[in-house]
Amino acid sequence: MNPIKNSVCEKAVFETIFREHSKTIRNFIYMKCGNLSQAEDLTQDAFIKLWKNCAKVPVQKVKSYLFTITKNAFFNEYEHQKVVLKYRDIQRDKVNIEDPEFQLQQKEFQQKLDNAINRLKPKEREVFLLNRIEKKKYREIAELLGIAVKTVEMRMHSALVTMRKEIKNYKI
């Protein structure tokens, strides 16, 4: 077989991959998010990333690559929305929310928190979100991801260390 003909960068190969996997990817992420429009957007983004990285992704790994990209993008969006909702619901009895200084501090902290989460490695972010947002136990995460509980512990530890470094000097 000629490796060029089996390259993801070939238009015909890419179109075949899209036809074979787009619906499966969309349905997979739709089951996670429950929003068809969001699922379609994330699926489209995954295929755009695949096209941009077509030379780096072997045809045999395309399906896994697409699932991983889509799942990580969903977790990023999901986590961001959770953080947004969490800080909207903070009791503001003691703070004048009309105060421009408070609003600036809150905006800066939110940005710092978002950046810290975005800087996590994809595998660390996945474990962090499953544990802290979805409230799954390490054992459940290990079963879900098909990894050892010790691996989950190490990823979570690394994620927390990174998060602490990113936001340690910030006081609101």
Q: What is the set of domains in the chain, with CATH numbers? A: 1-74 (1.10.1740), 90-172 (1.10.10.10)
- Which regions of the chain are under pLDDT 50? 1-4, 93, 172
At 4-16, the pLDDT tens digits run: 457 888 889 999 9
Predicted local confidence at residue 89, as pLDDT: 62
pTM of this structure: 0.48
Q: Positive or negative, the Cα torsion across 94, 101, 118, 85?
A: positive
- The CA distance from 117 to 38, in Å, is 21
Predicted local confidence at residue 76, as pLDDT: 86
Predicted local confidence at residue 126, as pLDDT: 86
Beta strands in the chain (DSSP E): none
